[in-house]
Amino acid sequence: MTVSRRAAGQVTLVCQDLRVGIRVVDSPSTMTLLSRLADVLPGAVVTTDAISKAQYTVVELPRTVRSRFVIRSSGRRSRRVSSATEVVEYLRSQLSTQVAETARCRIFVHAGVVGWKGRAIVLPGRSGAGKTTLVAELLRAGATYYSDEYAVVDEDGGIDPFCTPLQIRSTHTSRKHARTHEQFGARAGTERIPAGLVVFATFRAGHAWTARALSPGNALALLLANTICARTRPDAAIAALGKTAVAPAFIACRGAAHEAAHQILNLLEGGA
Amino acid sequence: MNPTARKSDLTIETLAGETVVYDTKYHKAHCLNSMAARVWQYCDGTNSVADITRRLKEDYASADEEVVQTALLRLQKANLLGTEYAVPSRRDMAKTLSLRAALAVPLISSVAIPTAAAAKSKDKKDKKNRTK
């Protein structure tokens, strides 16, 4: 397929230690939307200056093609989507992972995080574990939003905000929909806070809440299993997460998110 | 041959009396409770099982050789002992180990550490829409 090469442009995204060039071919609207990446990827700056080698190339095909946006990335398979908004969402997802992998001064742990009275509630878990649902419920209960994707841990074990839009999964289609923390009546955290509670919760439909306390050593081992750089930088990960793991930690099985949020807040208040 | 703790390809952190070991060869994290960690510490190649038992009894009055053998079995299962040391098999030990020794808390819990790609959030739609 021949693609017009007119109206090509390029931006560079800088976030933490990541610097990525994104090239857009024949799609001025996508070029405009790419500037929105800075809004949805925490701490990111999108610039047309200081061009980096393009790692991603976005090509817009004629409107007659259903999935007319093709995203090519070096060393990976192409992805086709139907709208410029989906292009931005796909890039946000890819780039947030790259930020997590390349950050040198922070440790990224797959987790939802909210703040409660100046302390962080960390909810580690993989995709599908229900951490976003739990984060949303805690926000409704008055918690401050920190992240539904990564706990960003500094060398002293403190948690930084990483406020990406919440990716709420539809119960019917498994498709994710972005929601802002404001839609849950919550405000976003702006300051680093210490870990106050770590809960490794798994979801089981209809299950009553059960929780068992974890020792700091076991909590650290489980945190490592959810840590992006655990294999590549185990020393740094263990040093930082060892300070997070001294917070009270529990392994839990939950049913309804509303009940679980209530129980989690009780655990935090009880451990104060 | 006396038991020897494996020292290579490991990152070790002591935390609240426990020892967390990250195995960079097998990509597993192990949490050793204080008793298991003490046995592992005594596995320096010079101490026999009897020596380790004697030293462990100084720290834990309830410790005996059964407890040490249990700890060694668990350490070996976690790949934390040198391969040259042959711990009696689980079946052999089952004949002699009392329930008390099996439960006498030289505990090691292990968790596999996934690659960054495996640890990352999966998006089914993402996979479905990929093209060559």
Mutate which: B15, B26, B105, vs A, most A CBs within 10 A: B15
pLDDT at A29: 73
Tell me if A64 sits within 8 A of A77, measured CB to CB: no
The verdict on B126 touching A (C-beta cutoff 8 Å) is yes
The reply to whether residue A220 touches residue B15, judged by beta carbons under 8 angstroms, is yes
Which H/E stretch holds residue B23? Answer: strand B18-23
pLDDT tens by residue, chain A, 272 residues: 333 344 468 888 888 888 888 888 877 777 777 777 787 788 888 887 756 677 888 888 887 888 888 999 876 778 999 888 888 888 888 888 889 988 989 999 999 999 999 999 999 998 777 889 999 999 999 999 999 999 999 999 999 999 988 888 776 666 777 888 999 999 999 999 999 999 999 999 899 999 999 999 999 999 999 999 999 999 999 999 999 999 999 999 999 999 999 999 999 987 54
pLDDT score at A35: 75
CB-based contact A215 B131, cutoff 8 Å: no
The answer, for A89 touching chain B at a CB cutoff of 8 Å, is: no
Q: Is B91 on the interface with A (CB under 8 A)?
A: no
Q: Is A168 on the interface with B (CB under 8 A)?
A: no
Residue B125 in this model has a pLDDT that exceeds 60: no
**Whole-number pLDDT of residue B98:** 58
Largest Cα span, chain A: 64
CA–CA min distance A49, chain B (Å): 31
What's the gap in Å between the CA of A123 and the closest CA on chain B? 14
**pLDDT reported for residue A75:** 67
> How would residue B82 be classed by pLDDT, with cut points 50, 70 and 90?
confident
Whose CA is closest to A44, among A118, A112, A102?
A: A102
Q: Could B31 and A93 be called an inter-chain contact, meaning their C-beta atoms sit closer than 8 Å?
A: no
Task: Report yes or no: B112 at the A interface, CB cutoff 8 Å.
Answer: yes
Contact A239 B18 (CB under 8 A): no
Contact A246 B113 (CB under 8 A): no
> Cβ contacts (< 8 Å) between B24 and chain A: which residues?
231, 234
pLDDT (0 to 100) of residue A266: 95
A266, A249, A240, A241: which is closest to A215 by C-alpha?
Answer: A249
3-state secondary structure chain A: CCCCCCCCEEEEEEECCEEEEEEEECCHHHHHHHCCHHHHCCCCEEECCCCCCEEEEEEECCCCCCCCEEEEECCCCEEEECCHHHHHHHHHHHHHHHHHHHCCCCEEEEEEEEEECCEEEEEECCCCCCHHHHHHHHHHCCCEEEECCEEEECCCCCEECCCCCEEEECCCCCCEEEECHHHHCCCECCCCECEEEEEEEEECCCCCCEEEEECHHHHHHHHHCCECCCCCCHHHHHHHHHHHCCCCEEEEEECCHHHHHHHHHHHHHHCC
Question: Which of A80, A217, A225 is the closest to B112 by Cβ?
Answer: A225
- Specify whether the CB–CB gap between B7 and B87 falls below 8 A: no
In this complex, is the C-beta atom of B109 within 8 Å of any C-beta atom belonging to chain A?
A: yes
Please give the structure tokens belonging to residue A107: 């440790």
Whole-model pTM? 0.86
Pairwise pLDDT comparison (B41 vs A93), residue with the higher score: B41
Contacts of A228 in chain B (CB under 8 A): 116, 119-120
Give me the pLDDT at residue B97, please: 56
Average per-residue pLDDT in chain B? 82
Whether the ipTM is more than 0.90: the answer is no
CB contact under 8 Å between A224 and B113, yes or no, is yes
pLDDT of residue A3: 37
Q: What is the pLDDT of residue A217?
A: 96
Residue B24 to residue A234, Cβ atoms within 8 A: yes
Q: How far is A76 from chain B (nearest CA, A)?
A: 9
CB contact under 8 A, A79 and B129: yes
State how far residue B93 is from chain A, nearest Cα, in angstroms. 27
B132 close to A (CB below 8 A): yes
Which residue of chain A comes nearest to B127, CA vs CA? A79
pLDDT of residue A128: 74
Q: pLDDT band at B61, cuts 50/70/90?
A: confident
**Residue A1 CB partners (closer than 8 Å, separation 6+):** A61
Question: Which pLDDT value is given to residue B66?
Answer: 87
Nearest CA in chain A to B115: A231
Is the pLDDT reported for residue B123 higher than 70?
A: no
With an 8 Å Cβ cutoff, are B116 and A101 in contact? yes
pLDDT in tens, B84-121: 677 666 665 555 555 555 555 678 999 999 887 776 65
Which of B18, B19, B20 to probe the A interface (max A CBs under 10 A)?
B20
- State how far the alpha carbon of B108 is from the alpha carbons of A86, A221, A231, in Å: 46, 11, 20
